Amino acid sequence: MVGISGNIEKGCWSVCLSGGYEDDVDLGDYFTYTGSGGRDLKGTADKPKNLRTAPQTKDQKFEGMNAALRRSVETKNPIRVIRGFKAKNKLYAPPTGYVYSGLYIVERAWMEKGLSGFKVCKYSFKRCPNQPRLPRFDPGGMEVVIVVPNLPTLSPKTREEEEEEEEEERTPPRRSERLSRVGIPNLEREKEEEEEGEDAFDVDLLL
């Protein structure tokens, strides 16, 4: 699979993370991507045909697909991101084949000296919001499914209920309520209860 697809005029429309560059850093929703080029296409003595992991032998340049990616910094158009089974961060890499990781934008492009000692084109990617969750895989290669419980929703209060609560907060408590709050016996209420009890007793005697 081609690592970078696009053109200089419109920018890039897809990239694939396959773990081919030592300078790549993959954090899932964010990752740093290394441009293409600067490798010895003859391979090495140990791996003469494995061009994907050939070492850097010269500086990269902002040309070709590297220029297309830099153009995407200006356009801010979303880019489709694919992760292969050889991607560095196995939390987001499938056990086999490839997985679609969603849409990202390129926030920044710059040139720096890579781990091999040669200059490489670097790009900072950020995942776009409002998408399905990023696929994740456990060490056994199975996709991790995150279950979010259905939380109960609270119905909003009506304007009338809010006004009633505000009125209750503004109304000062009665004297009897204030006394009961601080633990002072309410003598007035006790007297009323005694009088009510005497009235009830007199009625029973009359009957």
Q: pLDDT value at position 38?
A: 77
In the chain, which residues have pLDDT < 50? 147-149, 151-154, 179, 182, 200-201, 203-207
Q: pLDDT value at position 159?
A: 59
Written as six digits, the tokens of 183 are 């633990």
Q: pLDDT value at position 156?
A: 52
- CB-CB contact of 78 with 105 (8 Å): yes
Nearest Cα neighbor of 12 from 84, 105, 91, 133 is: 105
Count of C-beta atoms within a 10 Å radius of residue 168? 9
Q: pLDDT value at position 196?
A: 59
Task: For residue 169, give the 3-state DSSP assignment.
Answer: helix
DSSP per-residue string spanning 102-149: EEEEEEEEEEEE-TTSSEEEEEEEEE-SSSPPPP-B-TTSPBP-PPPP
CATH number of 4-127: 2.30.280.10
| Domains of the chain by residue range | 4-127, 159-206
Q: pLDDT value at position 75?
A: 94
Q: pLDDT tens for residues 13-36?
A: 999 998 777 778 899 999 999 888
DSSP structural state of residue 8:
T
Q: pLDDT value at position 3?
A: 80
Written as six digits, the tokens of 151 are 């939380």
Q: pLDDT value at position 13?
A: 93
Q: pLDDT value at position 27?
A: 92
Q: pLDDT value at position 191?
A: 60
Q: Report strand pairing: 11-17 vs 4-7.
A: antiparallel
Task: For residue 192, give the 3-state DSSP assignment.
Answer: helix
Q: Is 6 exposed, middle or buried (0-12, 13-18, 19+ CB in 10 A)?
A: buried
